[in-house]
Amino acid sequence: MTTAQSAPKTRNGTARPSAQRTIPVRRLDVDMNSVEINRWIVPEDPIFSNLLATLSAVFPRGEDFFVATVRANKDAVGDDEILKAQVKAFIGQEAMHGREHRRINVVLDEQGYRTARAERGIDAILNMLIKLKPKTLPLAVTAAAEHLTGIFAESALGSAATRETLFSHPEIQSLITWHALEELEHKNVAFDVLEKSNSGYVIRVGGFAITIVVLGGYVVFETARCVFNDRRSLTPARYLKHLRNIPRQNLISPWSVRQLVKYVRPGFHPDDIETDYLIEEWRTVLSEKTTITAGVGKTRDKSNPTG
């Protein structure tokens, strides 16, 4: 068993928090099949609404890709029992996220969002990326994408203004905060498997570049396409509403760009961005809306998972 003394260290010489973390897998006890949405997820803001719908649309296939790339490199984990358990929990958590986002994507599709088109688009892209060689490169894409989802998660959980602006719909907020909590809990996993593979800095940064240009670029392209398709709905009043919403949230902001570029610093580790206080807070907040199905806490008080 890895101890605090033998665990990987941060730049300050202290044990990295993620090196001891036990990750639970939860079921979200909110029925995503029966969510009622009155067209715009973000009230009267078709631009942010289409961005969130596009993100939700690409998540399930993206999460399948994340799991496949970690599985393809699992031999690199060796006899690190804690990381092995974290990989298992990571796979469990991502599978649950994919399931719930698929459900909400059907609801969104019925409301006029083009989630099915985005699912097909991301599927074609990821089918190409999974074939990249060496096999650590698709894993590096996953590690960088997990950094990106970690920033989204920090924004959703750490900024009440962002939640009020973008996720005011109650069931959507439950979905996003549950997903965000688990993204923070497992944000080190793909990165640590990549480090164990000794693939080096060039592969890590190459994966980051692919993630930003190809995956980020596709989300921007698809969102713009959806907004163009909905252009008749984009009245001056709604456009003004969007402009007012921009400074109220930090999901898309100078702050999130600064968090993003930290990834390219040589020696960076996801633990360099302190988010454990959010994990502690949101494990309690979400305990009433989730049930732990695997990992720590399965047979104990679900509101108090340790790790």
Contacts to Fe ion by CB under 5 A = 94, 97, 146, 183
Closest to Fe ion by CB, 45 vs 146, is 146
Q: Which two tokens stand for residue 272?
A: 């360099």
Burial of 261 (0-12, 13-18, 19+ CB in 10 A): exposed
Q: Report, in Å, the least distance between residue 191 CB and Fe ion.
A: 11
Closest to Fe ion by CB, 25 vs 47, is 25
What single letter denotes the amino acid at residue 261?
V
Closest to Fe ion by CB, 97 vs 238, is 97
Residue 213 makes CB contacts below 8 A (sequence gap 6+) with none
Closest to Fe ion by CB, 26 vs 242, is 26
Residue 280 makes CB contacts below 8 A (sequence gap 6+) with none
Q: Report, in Å, the least distance between residue 92 CB and Fe ion.
A: 11
* Element spanning 292, H or E: strand 290-294
Q: Could you identify the residue written with the tokens 């074939």?
A: 131
Q: What CA–CA distance (Å, rounded) separates 163 from 156?
A: 6
Q: Report, in Å, the least distance between residue 4 CB and Fe ion.
A: 25
Closest to Fe ion by CB, 94 vs 230, is 94
Polymer length of the chain: 307
Task: Decide: helix, strand or coil at residue 37.
Answer: coil
Q: Report, in Å, the least distance between residue 270 CB and Fe ion.
A: 11
Q: Which residue is closest to Fe ion by CB?
A: 97
Closest to Fe ion by CB, 40 vs 66, is 66
| Inter-residue contact 85 to 184 (CB < 8 Å) | no
Q: Report, in Å, the least distance between residue 10 CB and Fe ion.
A: 21
Q: Report, in Å, the least distance between residue 26 CB and Fe ion.
A: 12
